[in-house]
Structure 1
Amino acid sequence: MAQHFLPYGRQSIDESDIEAVVEVLRGDWLTTGPTIDALEAAFCDAVGAAHAVACSNGTTALHLALAAEGVGPGDVCIVPAVTFMATANAAIYCGAEVVFADVDPDTGLMTPNTLADALRRAGGKARAVLPVHLAGQCEALDVMAERAAAAGAVLIEDACHAVGSRWQGQPVGNCTHSRAATFSFHPVKTIAAGEGGMVTTHDAALARRMRVLRSHGIERDPSRHERRAGEPWWHEMQMLGWNYRLSDIQAALALSQLKRLGDFTARRGALAQAYDAALAGTKLPVSPLARTADCEPCLHLYPVRITFEAAGVSRADVMAALAARGVGSQVHYIPVPDQPWYKARHGEQELPGARHYYEHTLSLPLYVGMSDDDPGFVVEMLAEVLGG
């Protein structure tokens, strides 16, 4: 393997991030403390939402949003076939069923037309629609919100890839067209907290339910129950919840990273443009991910579309040859309906857009620590491997 190796994604940690974490470690609160409140307030400011609820990761963010909305047995959630399996799993955790929507073969995104087909297959039981902002892109949120509402469902955005993205000039997460939006702070995402998540919403009651659910369903607010006189320890378990709390240590890192979001977004954009330009100068059977209208993505991933059959080489061989040349890559994602657990539940599904997207996609390195020359180097190595 080459000495200089570019992974497909990597966090960016500087001294300000380290100092923020150390400050919490030297303080009195390691969890359930004031840094959580500060992070939630700052995130509201960043995306223009009224409420933000921090939690332990992007999966628990999805679960909290659906559970607080009351999704349960007998309900159906519409999930695009190309996503990380957590999007579908969150619905199953609530006791609901999943109907998979096909995706655009060039973007990997659920579209208004594939949503309409999935809603038809849901047979009037759709309770929630979960568009996934794959790689940081989103599509036609207004139209999909209208179609969801017409079917009696709410729109809950899986924006775990989309911190820093904008749609129609507004930050993703402002919930103009959705009931809630969920985010991830996993290390390869735009903002890192080690692990961590966030849900934004404009609905105060929904936010309050999520805050109660993230801590075992326990209510401590004396205005919400009859606290017994002289018993300051009193609390009530109002509903069955979970331990989905984020620690102040993680929140300190996320809060520090949030202050760098503008720089992160600009850098990712510049690297994506460098990739686009480098690929435009080749005759390789490779094209950048198709861009959607009205979206200014802060790309979490840089997926390319490769016609492997035209190059006469398999994707596995391409990945191995790139790794030997110092270039990491990954596949995002195996369609969730093809996972054994879901295939046993639903059988074989005819989703041609998802199949085509999966079979021709490879994610190349994209992270803010890359040099200006790295995208050109990656494309040069890709040309060697593909024989271009």
Structure 2
Amino acid sequence: MSYFSRLISIGILFGVSPFSFAQIITWSDNIPSALQPFQNNPQLLASYTQGNIFIYGHPAVKTSVPTLKNNPQPSVSFNTAAIIVPANSQRVSETLTDFSHYVGLFPTLKSAKRIEQSGNIVQMKYKVSIPTPIPVLNFNEDVTLQHQIKANSIASLVVDAPIPYGVGKLEWFALDDNRTLITLTQWGDLNQPKGFIIKKILNAIPEVKLGIPSTSNAFILESLRNRFIGQNTAALNAGQMPNPQLNAAQLTKITQLIQASQQPVSVLHAPTSVPYTHGREGMRFTTTYHFYKHPPQQLQKWLSPVSYQELFPRQIKKVVTTPIQNQGQNADIQVNVGLGVINIPFAFKLHFNYPNDTENSFYATGGDLRFIKGKMELTELKQGSLFKITTSAKIDEKAPFLLRAMRSLPYHDVLPAVGGNTVFVQKVKNKI
């Protein structure tokens, strides 16, 4: 499901539309700063971000969307992602405000043309092209966004699009002479889609709406990681997974962020490689946290694969498990994703280990996706439980054709876990 959320999120990010309007729109953005939940202190946010991409939500607030004629000041929930890059703020500013060179920075853009400018306000027309082996899923559209530049930020307004209403803000903050914190805070209205493909996907898999804010932010910041940082892959040992280096006070703050925003918090880890029998395989892990007002005992069922069909009844058709022996069991999960215009059947074959009642780990043992690893943990708190899930999922070259086609999408090895984790924890919230 997260593969298709990426396709939608690209449409949100660049406002895919066959039309463009070369008329500056009067707009005073009131998008919250990414620093707002962190005492407006970039060093404090940087302490959570570290060498990763840190993703979190904001409490619902009123914002300004002048294109939304019937409700130009809607109450919306913004989502932010942050990354630290090894570059000074001047270089970051020059890169982010050079809209014509977004081509080459973001992998979906094929051309960028300025169509109108008034002072620090610029309207840009972008061409977005995302070819796939399945023509019905291709994107090949023109895009128009209005950018408004300030000293250390760019606020952007979607002018017209299949996801027709959206706003966002890039900000950058100097941490020292050679490091800059970059943040992206945005919102897009997923309830009034106009695009054919997006309508089909959202109607068939409404759950993807839960994962789009995180994946769309991760898409942009992963592009910035590639520009400023590169891969710098860390080699993991067998059975090892990355773990956010957060202390007790920081975990308490994360719990507070979740409670205030009603959105999970995620960490997209830096690149890693994992040992397999054929050699090392590059894999990207995401850790996601969510808080529930329930003790761990009431949440333990979600550690078992037999519960997945309850969470995703439209997609998961059958779950067959072996009896638990030596704290482990195998699971065969049959999935069918129907988009109206196309159906994509595939199977997960996973092995689960249960070292205790509040923890599991799992990895692929076959099926149509060979590269899956993950872990779930429940931690008891005074007023509930903090749920933590770390996963990586990657479409391999031997996957069935319809799945393998998704490898043509940008960051196919990065974003599935971001969206999948976010959807999973929120589906659990909706079930308990």
TM-score of the pair, normalised by structure 2: 0.24
**Larger helix share, 1 or 2:** 1
RCO higher in 1 or 2 (8 Å CA, sep ≥ 6)? Answer: 1
Higher strand content, 1 or 2: 2
